[in-house]
Structure 1
Amino acid sequence: MTHTYTSCKSTVKPELHRVALSAYAQCRILDGMSDRRIYLKEWRKKAGKTQAQVVSALEMLDDPMLPTTEASLSRLENGKQPYSERVLLALADIYDCEPWELIGRHPQKEGLVIDLVRRLDEREQERVRAYIEGIRAASSGD
């Protein structure tokens, strides 16, 4: 999975920006997220990477706004340092997930259906969506 990421002026894939990060301006600290649970460490561990490996991968992006030490990555993972959209995009590329998942989904506790659907092509995803909507309509008596 590759996300569009190069610099502050880069474009985010429209579907990611619209779905996951629409309320946040590019290159700013994400507003309103200080009280949300983040799962940066859990996603790193799921990817089987050490902090040193992640920092090394981030350094290759040559962006001074990304963590450049294990200590700064640790502060991000523990919620002691704010993160930006740029950080989420870069980490999502490294961890092979979507940026919103880093702040909205524990990789070991949730998402079996999401993970399965992500592997489908666009046509198959549309069929699954229609099926789910049919189930919801039938269960609500519509």
Structure 2
Amino acid sequence: MDRQRGYTLIEVIVAFAVLGLGLMLLLGTLSNGTRQVRWAAESGRAALHARSLLDDVGIAVPITPGQSAGTFEDGRYRWTLEIAPFVDPDAPPALAAPDGDGLFELTLAVDWGEAGPRERLRLQTLRLRAPDAAAMVVP
């Protein structure tokens, strides 16, 4: 009697197990890739909103010390803007602007999603507040 050559049941089960493990690893990698793309898109949109808001400071939003907050895209992105006078620790106190004009430090925080460490953008910049035009009247 000739023996037929073929695969045993054990070999077929091992082959399916290896195939299943390979597919599981592949799907995990694809899932992680889509998560990274989504995070990049959300952080990019947060940066665009932050840039837009910072561009308005000094034009549409007055440079006055204090804190303000708001949202973008119906609450999807939340922001907090803090404006404080900037004091250079290396400059002598005599150079400080006594009339309140001068440099101001703007700190903008934008959060989205669960506001975890990867879902938070924090920006700091300096802005010069020009003296009021009415105060510059020459006699």
TM-score, with structure 1 as normaliser: 0.19
Higher strand share: 2
Higher helix share: 1
